[in-house]
Structures are given as structure tokens and as C-alpha cells.
A and B are shown apart, each in its own frame.
Chain A
Amino acid sequence: MAARLQIDWTRCDGHGLCAALLPDSIGRDDWGYPVLDERRLAGEPVAAVKRAVACCPALALRLERVPART
């Protein structure tokens, strides 16, 4: 996927929906905040990642395009 999941840490409250929706690539730290596994995330279907973005109750997730390497 040529996009990266970005977290706005000032918004994230650690609700944990993203981790529940993408359990293989998003874990949670000692306080419930998401811990991204970038490598595994890159293998997730874009639709699944988009669903996690849309479901975040704090609107803290964003898919950001990664400029193509030249």
C-alpha cells in the first residue's frame, strides 16, 4: 500500500478500536495506546485500514500518501 497510517497523538485517547479491527498489525501499550507494526500494516488490505481510520472515535487516524521513491 502506497499510504501510511498516521496517528495524531494529540487526539488519540486509546479507545482501541483500531487495534480491535487490525489485531495482527496494531497492538496496545501499557496504557492502551496503539503500537503500530509498520511492516505488517503494509501488508493489510487498504480497505481494512480505511475502515479503521473511519471507525476511530477520536478522529485521530489518517492515511497519508507516501511519495513514490524515485
Chain B
Amino acid sequence: MTAVLNSQRLVPVGYVGTPRLLRALDLLDPAEHLAAHGPLPVLDRAGLLGLLGAAPLAGRGGAGFPLAAKVRGLRAGPAPVVVVNGAEGEPVSAKDRALLGRAPHLVLDGAQLLAGAVGARSILVAVGDPALAGLLERVLAGRPRVSKLDVEVREVPDRFVTGEARALVSALNGGAALPPGRRVLPTEHGVGGRPTLVCNTETLAQLAVLARIGPAAFAATGTRGEPGTTLLTVTGAVANPGVLEVPLGTRLGDVAAAVGAQPSQAVVIGGYHGMWLRPAPKLELSRAGLARDGGTLGAGVVIFVGERTCPLGELTRVAGWLAGESARQCGPCTFGLPALAGELRRLAGGTPVKRNALRMADLVTGRGACAHPDGAARFIRSALGQLTEELQLHQAYGSCRRSDLGQLATTRTVW
């Protein structure tokens, strides 16, 4: 066996509690990986659904849709396809590339187990980063083949909307990486018209852990409704940015301590489709905990907005970026997001147009083929709700005398 060299930049990782996904890293030789994690069980459909019934596994791509419901929703008939969604389009998020780059066999184990349980003959691993695609090709070449199961790596455009499941299916079918205008469920008509399970990278790694340790051990950490751990990408005003594995339900204060967060005015949770929240140390990082504050965990991006940056400047720049990421398929998004970004620029300059900005946020919501305008509007609305004093400063003096330090990154973070 030839050694697989990892020429990727290694995403820095850390953890709160005991790591599971990030436990044995950089073992690209499948034998070493198996020695660390143990053999991979084989499950049939009933076994898989039983496992997911005992330990519910919510998708980790952002929407949090239960994996069991996805499996049940597969159209009966032709053999399904399993897609590993590693098209991590959120510029700050790095958890999928951390997993695929540093624990690729764990992700492939999950995909293989799922494929076996639903009778899929094909697994497609979709990634936006060419170097990562190259690494995965080499990893696959060294991994023992499973009979009647094809595994292929596919490079897809590296942009925000590509990760949307239907946009990804369209790209894998040779079309544009854009969400279609009509509601088509991948579980009914996906890749090549086959019923398709599109699963986030982390969801599959979690499945590989769950199948090995069993539901009781899996639920030994996390919350009652949301067992297990989750991956967070933590950046902004922090000493040690990176990907953290934490038990679901971990308090924000523990995450802040783990990464050395500076005193912060706000925290952005769930990325640029997520929410601005007060950085309360007791904030519980779980879907249910964040829902209490109207927030969402999304794909696990946590950004500390430090006290020395101009938050309105940060927001305005991200709003412009979100407008630029519109696929320009749908009118309200194409015209509404740039108009909304323009209103934020005027707000930063001191013009009192908050009401019009909120009106435009409402105007784009629910009026597109995908959730991009909705997510962008939610992000901006929540920021305007948090930044009341900041808005008053800008209105009174035309600025807050701080500049935008770029803590909310709008270009791909290089680790």
C-alpha cells in the first residue's frame, strides 16, 4: 500500500469534552483508521431505522432535517444514490473540509453504511475545493472496494448556493449549480432521476460513530432531544479560530473560553443565514436552545463580533456579499438584496432608513426558488434588532469611530 500524503492545509481543530469525530485525525491509511475506530458494522434498512429511532440524528448541513425521515422519504423502485454534500459554500465554515481533509474514512464509512442499508450502488462525494477533491481521490484509491458499490469524487462550483441540496443535484446531473424553480425532492428524483439521499459530510461521520458505539453510548453526551456532539467553526475576535467538536447543548461561555474569545458586542450563530444574538455565556448551543432566542444552529458557524470593530460596517459588507451570492434567478432576490444592502450603507452613513430596510427584508422573504433571500433577510433583521445603540451612534455622528475589522469574513478563510 502506498502512503497517501496529506498536502492539504490542516484546519486547526479542538474540542470541549470528549471528541468522537475528531478523535483520531490524519489517518489516511484505511487500516490505521480501522484500528483506531474499530470495524464498520453492516446494517439493513430496518437496522438503520432502528438505530436512528433510538438516537435521532438531525442533518448537520443547516436545516436539521432528521436522517430517518429522509431515508423513509426515498421513492421505492430504482436503486438510490448517496451524495456526500461537502460543497461547503459558507465562506467561514470549515467543518466539512476539516472532516473530509482530516478524517475522510469516517465520512466514507458513514456513506458506505447508508448506501448498504438503502441498497444504493453509487456514492458521489461532492466538494468545491479542487485540492480537497485531489486528496479524496487518493484516499479512495487506497480504500478497499465494496462489491457493487461505486464511489466517485465530483468537483462542483465553490459558491454559496451550490450546497443547497437541489442545486447540488442539478450540478451533479450536468446542469447549473442552481436550485430549480419547481419543488422537486431529491429523495424522489435526484441524481440521474434516481431517488437520492443528499447528506452533509458531518451527518455521515456522525452515523459512522453511532453505528459503531450504539445509541446508548451515543446519547451519553448532548441533550435529551439532541444526543451526541456537533462540529462548530468558531472565528471572529478569538485567539484560536478553528473547528471545535462540542457536546450538543454546550454553553456559549465554554466555547468562548476554548477559543480565547475577546469581549464581544454580539455573536453570529448559524453563519450568514443565521442570527446575531447577545453573547450571553449561558446561551445553549443546540437547535432547541437557540430556537428559544429565535436563532438557529445552522451548519454550526459561531463568530464573535469583538468590541473594537464597527458592527454596522461588518453587517453592511456581509449584506453586499449576500447580494452578490444571489444566483440571479429570481427577481425579488436579484433586485431586493442589493437594494437592502444599499439601505444598510445609508444607515451606516447616518441616514435613518431602518424602517425601509426592514420593509425590504420582509419583501424578499419567501419569494425565491431557494432559501437564500429568506436567510439573508433573517440575518440582517436580527442584526438590526441587536444594534440599536450602534444605529443611534451612526445617526448622531455619521459613524461610531471604529472601522470594519473584517471579523465577519466574506472571503474563504485560509487556515
- A interface vs B, CB < 8 Å? 7-14, 29-33, 35, 60
Contact = CB atoms under 8 A, between A and B. Distances in A.
B367 A10 contact: no
Contacts of A31: 331-332, 335-336
A9 B339 contact: no
B329 interface: yes
Interface in B330-361: 330-333, 335-336, 339, 360
Nearest to B180: A10
B369 interface: yes
B181 interface: yes
A29 B332 CA distance: 8
Given A10-B369, A33-B367, 8 more contacts: A8-B369, A9-B333, A10-B180, A12-B331, A29-B332, A30-B339, A30-B360, A31-B332
Contact of B369 (A9, A30, A32, A35): A9
Interface in B308-346: 329-333, 335-336, 339
A31 B336 CA distance: 8
Contact of B368 (A9, A11, A13, A60): A9
B182 interface: yes
> DSSP majority for the A interface?
loop
- Tell me which of A10, A11, A33 has the highest count of chain B C-beta atoms within 10 A of its own C-beta: A10
A69 B336 CA distance: 34
B216 to A, nearest CB: 37
A33 B331 contact: yes
B257 to A, nearest CB: 44
B363 interface: yes
B182 A8 contact: yes
A13 B360 CA distance: 19
B105 to A, nearest CB: 39
Contact of A10 (B181, B335, B336, B339): B181
Contacts of A13: 331
B222 to A, nearest CB: 35
12 contacts: A9-B330, A9-B331, A9-B367, A9-B369, A10-B180, A12-B331, A14-B331, A30-B339, A30-B360, A31-B336, A32-B331, A60-B181
A33 to B, nearest CB: 4
A13 B336 CA distance: 14
Contacts of A8: 181-182, 369
Contacts of A35: 363
Contacts of A12: 330-331
A33 B332 contact: yes
A14 B330 CA distance: 10
Interface in B368-385: 368-369
A69 to B, nearest CB: 19
B329 to A, nearest CB: 4
A32 B331 CA distance: 9
Contacts of A7: 367
Contacts of B331: 9, 12-14, 31-33
A41 to B, nearest CB: 14
A19 B86 CA distance: 42
Interface in B33-56: none
B181 A11 contact: yes
Nearest to A60: B181
Interface centre among B329, B330, B332, B363 (most CB of A within 10 A): B332
A65 to B, nearest CB: 13
Contacts of B180: 10
A10 B167 CA distance: 13
Among all A-B residue pairs, the 5 with the closest Cβ atoms:
A10-B181, A9-B330, A8-B181, A10-B329, A31-B335
B143 to A, nearest CB: 39
Name, among B181, B182, B329, B360, the residue most crowded by chain A CB atoms within 10 Å (CB to CB): B181
B361 to A, nearest CB: 13
Nearest to B329: A10
Contact of B330 (A10, A29, A30, A32): A10
Nearest to A11: B181
A30 B357 CA distance: 13
Contacts of B339: 30
Nearest to A29: B363
A9 to B, nearest CB: 4
Interface string B171-212: 000000000111000000000000000000000000000000
Contacts of B335: 30-31
